Amino acid sequence: MILKGKKGIIFGALDDQSIAWKIAEHCVAEGAEIVLTNAPVAFRMRGDTSITTLAEKLNCEAIPADATRLDDLENLVEKSVEKLGKIDFVLHSIGMSINIRKNKPYTESNHDYMQKSFDISSISFHKLMQTLWKMDAMNDWGSVVALTYIGAQRIFPHYGEMAEAKALLESFARSFGYHFGEKKKIRVNTISQSPTVTTAGSGIEGFDDFWNHADKMSPLGNASADDCAKYCMTLFSDYTKYVTMQNLFHDGGFSSMGMNPKAV
């Protein structure tokens, strides 16, 4: 068990389609103790695929927190440290575009919506790391990981403002990764995952065509949520202690392809 004895906080397990859900399951299976968290609205959901059900299944605590609010993050980190002791790993799996939800074309984006989307999807990552930093909540040689997508580097028209949100997220990982590395030997990385059938991803216009194209372009096909979770385990473990400030593609080779005859 490569995470035996490690303690972590997992953001973003909404339902059993969530990558964060799979990551939480694998963390516990690999010996870690975790705290789950999501926005308060997620805790009002009930049923077999709710965050409270997952917490019961994994025998762990679930603490509501709005990741855009510093007071919520401080409360979450304080309670997590009280429960677990200092933290070894953190997953940020948070993203939402209000303009996409409102079916706003990119050229007609509402900028108030855009700012809120950035706050939720990327600035929350900086707020989280700043909170961990100020509260000295992480052990030396810890690991912080956020999930991203290649839309930060390439144009996918229906991805809208999430392209900029993910680019900002990746920049925060590099910038804070320097400071965390210098002070505490804590590493910060992003995983750029294949298109994945999740509640959030499926809300993007033309997602099925999008997924099928990526699957044909990638020599290995699209990476599943479960395989992403397994990859994430290595970044939380001591096997990757010197990997930091990287955007790591977990996409079946899509990011290196120019053309694949299967996709023509």
Q: Which two tokens stand for residue 34?
A: 């975790």
Distance of alpha carbon 120 from alpha carbon 127, whole angstroms: 10
Domain boundaries, the chain: 7-253
Contacts of 15 (CB under 8 A, 6+ apart): 21, 45, 49, 50, 199
Average pLDDT over residues 176-194: 98
Tell me what pLDDT residue 201 has. 66
The pLDDT assigned to 168 comes to 98
Q: If you average pLDDT over residues 80-107, what whole number do you get? A: 96
Q: What pLDDT digit, counting tens, does each position of 35-55 carry?
A: 999 999 999 887 777 899 999
The pLDDT value recorded for residue 254 is 96
**HSE-CB of 87 using CA atoms within 13 angstroms:** 29
Query: At the top level of CATH, which class does the domain 7-253 belong to?
Result: alpha beta
